[in-house]
Amino acid sequence: MAASTQKATNLFQVYLRLRPPQGGAATGERFLTVEEPDDDSKTPKHITLNPPNDRRRAIEKFAFTQVFEEDATQLDVFNCVGVANLINGVLAPCGGDGTDALVATLGVTGSGKSHTILGSRSQRGLTQLALDVIFQSLGENIVDCDTCPTLEQSIVASDPSEAAIFSAPTFLDSVFVDLSASHRPGSRAQTPMNVGYPPSSPQPRPQQEVQHGPSGRIPGLGCETVRVVMGKDSIATLSPLATTTTTDKSQSISDNRRGLGAAFVPHNRQTGHAFCGPRRQQVQRAKGARGRMQPSGRATASTSCVRLKSGTNQAAHSQGESIGPGHTPSRRLHRPSTFPQQPDVNGLSVSCDPSAEYAVLISMYEVYNDRIFDLLTPPTKSTATKEYRRRPLLFKPTEASPDRKVVAGLRKVICGNLHQALMVLEAGLHERRVAGTGSNSVSSRSHGFFCVEVKKRTRGNRKHGAEPSWGGSALTIVDLAGSERARDAKTAGTTLAEAGKINESLMYLGQCLQMQSDAATKDKPNLVPFRQCKLTELLFSNCYPSPSAISSGRYRNPQKAVMIVTADPHGDYNATSQILRYSALAREVTVPRIPSITQTILAAAAQQQQQASQSLSSPVEAPTQARPSSPRGRGRGSGSGSGSVHYPPLLSSPDIVRGASSPAHSPANTAGSNDNSMHRSTVEAAVLEISRLTEEIEYLQQALEAERTARQEAEARLLSMEDRMVDLEQAVREDCTNEFERRLEIEMARWRAMMQVEMERGEEHWGRKIELFERSFGGGGGGGGVLLRNDGNHNDGDDYYDGDAGGEEGDEDKENILVEDVHQENERLRRENEALRREIASMSPTKRLPLRERVSDAGAVARGGKPETGSPRHARTSRAVGGGGGSYDEEGSLLDRLERLRVNDAQASARSSAGGGKSRKVRKLPGKRWNAVGDDDDLF
């Protein structure tokens, strides 16, 4: 089991770091021992895992590249892991684009991953140390936006990841509120508390002490205010004094916040750690929104945002990218003014390419519920749900990077010095998801990626004035979320669903790591199934050259990767052993063989019989028994690992039997003592059977427990799927609503246009009608005037035109005039009729023709036709024609006119009755005049 021989073949070098007990006093039993180094290197590489209180479990031995014991410092880890070597590969001092590097931590929740990567109040983590070394090493070769105005533009042009690129001052000004802005010149934030800058990096301008204004800052206390999110939306600003009544619980929550600044530092009672950088928190256990601040010994100006979320908001927040209405409406954070300075890496620098100039770009993202979210891009407010949401990003090959997958659409910040880089890290950490669980009060709920891209181009190689393009490599530092058991972490709801996703992705990661160690030991092809989830894709994709890169000849060095496994030797044995099993470079299992109790009893009985028979035949002591075998033990042992398996000597059970039975057999024993011996052995067998059954029960209980955990994990996965479905449904609904609104808008516009056209048509139609009407009545009136009748008020007695009169009134007057005309005509005709009647009456009634016939005959004669001959009608007509033809003709025309008038009159009365609904002023014909003609009068 040599870890060193596998170094060359592994995709990841795997280190183990043991966490010291919290508060110096261990709570549980220690189950992990570090083996003494067996070679000259003097660095331990092996550990042994002893199952606590369980003799049935295998003793396992694991090999790592190196083991860091509890007393190892951050600097020890930094140096021994070889981060400087990785940086060397990234900077590529000998030319070329360099080699990508990746450092990740893996472990059970609360085992110290974030501590290793991000550090604590007093100690910097690997990220800060790596940044420090990078900026020191680049020295004068670094260019930033101040020294090179075209830098941003040239980087945008050569960046293959469709990124949004910002200069650090622009980005930081958009994220941080600088309370002392009035005191500083220009836009660049410089704070006095940043000490210990490397000589090469620009020193911040000293800044005056911030005045304590109404914002709640108290002189001497060293902190501003704490923004506390209570319930859903409320953001309360607490003064430091108001917070001193906080309970221990909320204290421990705020204490355990980790970060980079150290000015305002709620400090951890147990570890002395403090978290100065604001980090988004979901602390489901926190009922009240309280926080306590303690004055820091060294700091004067810094702030922090403590967000204590209620369960409701947490649930909303944790739906993938949805951030709840009260969440991060504004990203204006307070600038931390100081960062931890220890351990000091001054003087530790690696060489860089002197013929090249470098630019450093920082980006940060997290993998949450198997989706990638940018940590430097603020969430945007959804128009439909009014919630702040973040857009998931894709990990894909882009047009400019067909040979290599990149996270597309990230926000990247060009940093010119260490301070800017730390501030960007601070801003990104604020967005990272954390929550309080039963295992860790500040547990990471996502896998955090911190990416330092070192862009590189040759100096002075400007062909025809064109700038040379940027190449380079990246150092990615990953803080993985920890695996956790729902029972220990006491998670529920969304946090449980998150845990399900975390465990699932870690399971895939475990499979990948297992494959690499299998491949190293068994000469199998190194096929790592890394496409199963986003996490493994991000971690492993760059370990291999892509097929398109090989075919195009654009070969990049595969990345160098380091995995630091963290473990608490006093923590959860099951969870720790599981992680060690798949992450270790090699493993050796020693299976303790427990004989089956039944076999033991049978063997004991057989032995007793043998001894009894031997005692009868020979006084010689019985030989030692054969080693029993256990199918269950064998099955468990052989199935548990890939390392060599050792079978230790038998454990105590047979010895008990042997010890109990051995002194009983001597030739001198009597038959009674034989009986006693048999009786005793039966009792012993019974005792052993009981113990076997007890063990069986224990075993079943454990199996049940395992099943229960598996069920909880499955439920958690289900919940997370449900969350995802809700998300998807929400998105689909949103899309549908938008589409519906869009279409509705179009339909409304069309309808309005049609309506307009119809109205115009209607107006035109009526206009034409009115015109016709006016023309028909207005005659010589001109100008649309209405002919009005002299109503007696006009002395001249003439008709007159009123050019302004119009509308209904005018129409009614016209009608009245018509009716009056008709009436007068009627009168006149009546008179003539009377005269005719009298004339007819003077004639013989027998010769009288009906009036109509006479008229028609007369009409026919007038038209040159012949009236019917032989008929009395004809005779009368002839007589009339012969007698007084002129008057007959006249009478016919009069009757014709009378007929027409009758029809017109009927039409007029029909019109007037049709318009009866409208209150028209219609002058009625005087009834008397019509009544004057009797009904029975034979007019026609």
Ligand X SMILES: Nc1ncnc2c1ncn2[C@@H]1O[C@H](COP(=O)(O)OP(=O)(O)OP(=O)(O)O)[C@@H](O)[C@H]1O
Alpha carbons 707 and 715: distance in angstroms, whole number: 12
CB count within 10 Å of CB 850 equals 12
Query: Considering only residues 112, 204, 291, 448, which one is a binding residue for ligand X as defined by CB under 6 A?
Result: 112
Interface positions, 199-258, toward ligand X (CB under 6 A) = 256
Alpha carbons 314 and 324: distance in angstroms, whole number: 8
Query: Considering only residues 46, 56, 61, 113, which one is a binding residue for ligand X as defined by CB under 6 A?
Result: 113
- Tokens coding 533: 């989830």
Binding mask 523-562 for ligand X (x = CB under 6 A): ----------------------------------------
Residue count of the chain, please give it: 940
Q: How far apart are CB 226 and ligand X at their closest, in Å?
A: 20
- Tokens coding 771: 């015109």
Q: Is 110 in the site for ligand X (CB under 6 A)?
A: yes
| Contact indicator for 519, 144 with CB cutoff of 8 Å | no
Q: Is 21 in the site for ligand X (CB under 6 A)?
A: no
CA distances from 176 to 179, 188, 328, 428 (A): 9, 11, 13, 12
CB count within 10 Å of CB 511 equals 15
What angle do helix axes 74-81 and 83-91 make, rounded to 10 degrees? Answer: 50
Q: What is the DSSP string of 572-591?
A: -HHHHHHHHHHHSSEEEEEP
| Contact indicator for 194, 351 with CB cutoff of 8 Å | no
Q: Is 343 in the site for ligand X (CB under 6 A)?
A: no
Which span sits near ligand X by CB under 6 A: 109-117, 336-344, 732-740, 897-905? 109-117
The kind and range of the H/E element at 892 are helix 872-914
Nearer to ligand X, 566 or 833 (CB): 566
CA-wise closest residue to 79 among 305, 289, 345, 323: 345
Q: How far apart are CB 438 and ligand X at their closest, in Å?
A: 11
CA distances from 486 to 109, 282, 312, 439, 494 (A): 11, 17, 20, 10, 12
Angle at 428 between CA 424 and CA 434, to 5 degrees: 150
Query: Considering only residues 3, 15, 19, 66, which one is a binding residue for ligand X as defined by CB under 6 A?
Result: 19
Alpha carbons 815 and 812: distance in angstroms, whole number: 5
Query: Considering only residues 320, 324, 482, 569, which one is a binding residue for ligand X as defined by CB under 6 A?
Result: 482
Task: Please name every residue paired with 32 in a beta bridge, in sequence order, or none if there are none.
Answer: 49
Which amino acid makes up residue 398? T
Binding-site size for ligand X (CB under 6 A) equals 22
Nearer to ligand X, 341 or 599 (CB): 341
Task: Please name every residue paired with 405 in a beta bridge, in sequence order, or none if there are none.
Answer: 397
Q: Is 596 in the site for ligand X (CB under 6 A)?
A: no
Binding mask 62-91 for ligand X (x = CB under 6 A): ------------------------------
Nearer to ligand X, 115 or 227 (CB): 115
Q: Is 114 in the site for ligand X (CB under 6 A)?
A: yes
Q: Where are the alpha helices (DSSP H) in 210-258?
A: 248-255
Q: Is 161 in the site for ligand X (CB under 6 A)?
A: no
CA distances from 394 to 102, 398, 437, 460, 857 (A): 20, 10, 30, 36, 105
Interface positions, 401-460, toward ligand X (CB under 6 A) = 440, 442-444
Q: Is 111 annotated as a binding residue?
A: yes
Q: Is 392 in the site for ligand X (CB under 6 A)?
A: no
Q: How far apart are CB 497 and ligand X at their closest, in Å?
A: 16
Query: Considering only residues 61, 115, 581, 873, which one is a binding residue for ligand X as defined by CB under 6 A?
Result: 115
Q: Is 141 in the site for ligand X (CB under 6 A)?
A: no
Q: Is 654 in the site for ligand X (CB under 6 A)?
A: no
The residue with tokens 């940018």 is 374
Q: Is 167 in the site for ligand X (CB under 6 A)?
A: no
Q: Is 864 annotated as a binding residue?
A: no
Angle at 749 between CA 744 and CA 752, to 5 degrees: 120
Query: Considering only residues 91, 293, 481, 562, which one is a binding residue for ligand X as defined by CB under 6 A?
Result: 481
Alpha carbons 335 and 180: distance in angstroms, whole number: 10
| Contact indicator for 93, 351 with CB cutoff of 8 Å | yes
Burial of 610 (0-12, 13-18, 19+ CB in 10 A): middle
Alpha carbons 569 and 70: distance in angstroms, whole number: 9
Q: How far apart are CB 71 and ligand X at their closest, in Å?
A: 9
Q: What is the DSSP string of 854-890?
A: HHHHHHHHHTT--PPSSSHHHHHHHHHHHHHHHHHHH
Q: How far apart are CB 20 and ligand X at their closest, in Å?
A: 5
What angle do helix axes 573-583 and 493-522 make, rounded to 10 degrees? Answer: 40
CA distances from 82 to 350, 566, 583 (A): 12, 17, 19
Q: Is 505 in the site for ligand X (CB under 6 A)?
A: no
CA-wise closest residue to 592 among 17, 10, 58, 53: 58
Q: Is 109 in the site for ligand X (CB under 6 A)?
A: yes
Q: How far apart are CB 503 and ligand X at their closest, in Å?
A: 12
Which span sits near ligand X by CB under 6 A: 25-33, 103-111, 220-228, 798-806? 103-111
Q: How far apart are CB 121 and ligand X at their closest, in Å?
A: 9
Nearer to ligand X, 81 or 454 (CB): 81
Q: What is the DSSP string of 223-252?
A: ---EEEEETTTEEEEEPTTGGGG--HHHHH
Q: Is 485 in the site for ligand X (CB under 6 A)?
A: no
Interface positions, 560-579, toward ligand X (CB under 6 A) = 566
Q: Which residues contact 714 (CB under 8 A, 6 or more apart)?
A: 500
Nearer to ligand X, 417 or 444 (CB): 444
Q: Is 677 in the site for ligand X (CB under 6 A)?
A: no
Q: Is 340 in the site for ligand X (CB under 6 A)?
A: no
Q: How far apart are CB 480 and ligand X at their closest, in Å?
A: 7
Which span sits near ligand X by CB under 6 A: 80-88, 107-115, 582-590, 711-719? 107-115
Task: Please name every residue paired with 444 in a beta bridge, in sequence order, or none if there are none.
Answer: 434
Which span sits near ligand X by CB under 6 A: 108-116, 240-248, 385-393, 909-917? 108-116
Q: Is 187 annotated as a binding residue?
A: no
Which span sits near ligand X by CB under 6 A: 105-113, 310-318, 359-367, 771-779? 105-113
Q: Is 495 in the site for ligand X (CB under 6 A)?
A: no
Q: Is 109 annotated as a binding residue?
A: yes
Q: What are phi and psi of 109, to 5 degrees?
A: -60, 135
Q: Is 503 in the site for ligand X (CB under 6 A)?
A: no
Nearer to ligand X, 10 or 576 (CB): 576
Q: Is 823 in the site for ligand X (CB under 6 A)?
A: no
Nearer to ligand X, 68 or 888 (CB): 68
Q: How far apart are CB 281 and ligand X at their closest, in Å?
A: 12
CA-wise closest residue to 850 among 826, 871, 829: 871
Q: Is 657 annotated as a binding residue?
A: no
Q: How far apart are CB 119 and ligand X at their closest, in Å?
A: 9
Q: Is 259 in the site for ligand X (CB under 6 A)?
A: no
Nearer to ligand X, 342 or 469 (CB): 342
- Tokens coding 330: 């504004």
Q: Is 110 annotated as a binding residue?
A: yes
Whole-number CA gyration radius for the chain: 52
DSSP designation for 446 = S
Q: Is 127 in the site for ligand X (CB under 6 A)?
A: no
Query: Considering only residues 1, 9, 20, 622, which one is a binding residue for ligand X as defined by CB under 6 A?
Result: 20
| Contact indicator for 523, 508 with CB cutoff of 8 Å | no
Interface positions, 261-290, toward ligand X (CB under 6 A) = 268, 271, 273
Query: Considering only residues 82, 89, 98, 107, which one is a binding residue for ligand X as defined by CB under 6 A?
Result: 107
Nearer to ligand X, 565 or 786 (CB): 565
Q: How far apart are CB 478 and ligand X at their closest, in Å?
A: 12
Ramachandran category for residue 96: left, alpha or beta (phi over 0 → left; psi -120 to 50 → alpha): left
From the annotation, which residues make up the binding site for ATP?
107-114
Q: Residues in the site for ligand X, rule: CB under 6 A?
A: 19-20, 107, 109-115, 120, 256, 268, 271, 273, 440, 442-444, 481-482, 566
